[in-house]
Structure 1
Amino acid sequence: MKDPRFDYMPLAAREYSAQRQMTVGDLLLDNRIIFLDGPIHDGSANLVIMKLLFLQSENRHQDIHLYINSPGGSVTATLAIYDIMQFIECDVATYCVGLSASGGAILVAGGAAGKRFALKHSKIMIHQPYGQVGGQVSDIEIQARDILAARQLLNEILASHTKQPVEKIAKDTQRDHYLTAQEAKAYGLVDEILDRTPGDKKK
């Protein structure tokens, strides 16, 4: 319920009160910053997608900054975010913070060309998708085909953004493949390594 005293506050006081009610996430969003942390699942993906669409509706020509510190998760949820990143008109600059693994690596690599960053001590991990199969033989066959198709698709996405051959991606992702920020840049997963905010001058 709205506080009735709010209508009688001076403008500066009302603005201060409104700011006090904003969360850190709201303040970041106000600066066109989205932070994806933790596992990627339908809930977290939907929240990121809503924020991306909202920021595009606010300004179709200004960059969105997506910070990622995630171990990955659902392939379908990852691809949902990825597809929206490619679909919207705004450039999405991506930042690897801490560890961006599996689906997190896909999203970092899927940022706008020239605007994919890794923090100095961050790491990226790429691998083939995990999957569990069970049930009748016919169900197992269907699930296995789906996992193989997902693996091929993710390899092709990584290849398109890194300019690495699909065959190399397939080989490198047979096992968990960890890369430092420097290695990720050489691999083509990111464009630059940051140790301060872009545009800041060292004091």
Structure 2
Amino acid sequence: MRKDDGYRNYLVPMVVEQTSRGERAFDIYSRLLKERIVFLGTPVDDQVANLIVAQLLHLESEDPEKDISLYINSPGGMVYAGMAIYDTMQYIKPDVSTMCVGMAMSMGAILLCGGAKGKRYALPNAKVMIHQGSAGFQGTPADIEIHAKEVLSLRRRMAEIIAHHTGQPYEQVEKDIDRDRFMDPGDAKAYGIIDDVIASRTAIESLPGSLPEGEPARLAEAEDGALPEPQA
């Protein structure tokens, strides 16, 4: 078993609903899907990407005009798999609103900033991190050179995506992803990765380009966007 496979073994809660035909049970993720909520709560790999892509395509087929909410709590993962999710988010007709709960790091941060403009959010204690991709190779020197060129190409593409969605200069993004750069929600908002920091479901009507009804509302922030200092 791979080191990161443990999360797949957790018991998935079931939700029981009363219908005209009696009781019907859904796993919690299927129940959220009915509300057009997709949850990414794992590292990103091929299997996870396939599931997320399938859910996005399904929700588009159900209603191409209604927003989809993508909740992200992920440390990142495989770049190719993450790009499959990112490209699908851009491809489908519905706006994909993104919300960071917990963490959105590496590829998770790219998915977070790749949400629809004005509809990218984070909870107050979430953490965002951007950096360049990494990889290890073995084989002949010629093979290693080929793979190294591909890693550099992926780094450039990741920097281009972040620059496009944040409005930051490409050169600045290249500099920032050279090492791990961690951001609090206020920093992520200032950088352009998210549009708002939110904490509750109240006053949602006051948000321009707000999430669908029932989604969280904006955190009342200081004018400088700073968050309160944590207390021990």
Is TM > 0.5 for Structure 1 vs Structure 2? yes
Q: Which amino acid is 2:168 matched to?
A: Q
Q: For 1:97 and 1:127, locate their aligned partners in 2 and report how far apart those are by CA, in whole Å.
A: 19
The offset of 1:13, in angstroms, is 5.3
* CA offset digits 1:117-145 (Å, max 9, x no partner): 01111010000001112100000000000
Aligned to 1:37, which of 32, 41, 47? 41
* 1:60 to 1:109, Cα distance in 2 relative to 1, 3 A: same
Q: In the alignment, does 2:170 pair up with 1:166?
A: yes
- Residue in 1 that maps onto 2:230: none
- Residue in 2 that maps onto 1:51: 55
The offset of 1:196, in angstroms, is 1.1
Q: In the alignment, does 2:64 pair up with 1:71?
A: no
* 1:201 to 1:79, Cα distance in 2 relative to 1, 3 A: closer
Aligned to 1:102, which of 94, 98, 106? 106
Aligned to 1:125, which of 106, 125, 129? 129
* 1:149 to 1:201, Cα distance in 2 relative to 1, 3 A: closer
User: Structure 1, unaligned stretches of length 5 or more?
Assistant: 1-10
Aligned to 1:178, which of 173, 176, 182? 182
Q: For 2:112 and 2:82, locate their aligned partners in 1 and report how far apart those are by CA, in whole Å.
A: 11
User: Structure 2, unaligned stretches of length 5 or more?
Assistant: 1-17, 206-215, 219-232
Q: In the alignment, does 2:115 pair up with 1:111?
A: yes
> Highest Rg: 1 or 2?
1
Moved over 6 A (4+): none
TM-score, normalised with respect to structure 2: 0.79
* SS, match of residue 136 in structure 2: coil
Compare the two structures and name the one with the higher helix fraction.
1
The offset of 1:201, in angstroms, is 7.6
> Are 2:198 and 2:217, in contact at CA under 8 Å, matched by a contact in 1?
no
Percent identity, please.
Answer: 46
**Larger RCO: 1 or 2 (CA < 8 Å, sep 6+):** 1
Aligned to 1:62, which of 51, 62, 66? 66
Aligned to 1:17, which of 2, 23, 28? 23
* SS, match of residue 23 in structure 2: helix
The offset of 1:12, in angstroms, is 4.4
- Residue in 2 that maps onto 1:3: none
Within 5 Å, give how 1:187-198 maps onto structure 2. Answer: 187-197=191-201, 198=204
The offset of 1:23, in angstroms, is 0.9
TM-score, normalised with respect to structure 1: 0.90
